[in-house]
Amino acid sequence: MCYLIWAGIVALPVHVVSVIVFAALEPNYSHLHQSVSMLGAFSASNTFAMNLFGLFLPGLLVVAFSYACREYLKPFGVSGLWVGNMLFLFGLMFAGLALPMDMGPIWGADYTVHYILAYSAVMPFLFATLFTIVLLPKLGFHKGQTLALVILPIIFVLTKPMALFQLPSGLVQRMLLLSIFTWISILSVSMLGVVKRH
pLDDT, residue 107, reads 59
DSSP run (H or E) holding 157? helix 143-159
Residue 22, Cα to own-chain centre: how many angstroms?
18
Give the CA radius of gyration of the chain. Answer: 17
pLDDT for the residue 117: 86
- 3-state DSSP call for residue 141? coil
Give the global pTM.
Answer: 0.91
CB 139, CB 76: distance < 8 Å: yes
Work out the burial of residue 21: count CB atoms within 10 Å of its CB; fewer than 13 is exposed, 13-18 middle, 19 or more buried. middle
Closest residue by Cα to residue 69 from 17, 152, 125: 125
State how far Cα 141 lies from the chain centre: 21
Domain spans of the chain, in order of start: 2-197
Give 10-residue mean pLDDT values along the chain (198 residues).
89 97 94 89 89 96 95 86 95 91 61 81 94 89 90 86 74 92 95 75
Q: CB-based burial of residue 115 (10 Å sphere; 0-12 exposed, 13-18 middle, 19+ buried)?
A: middle
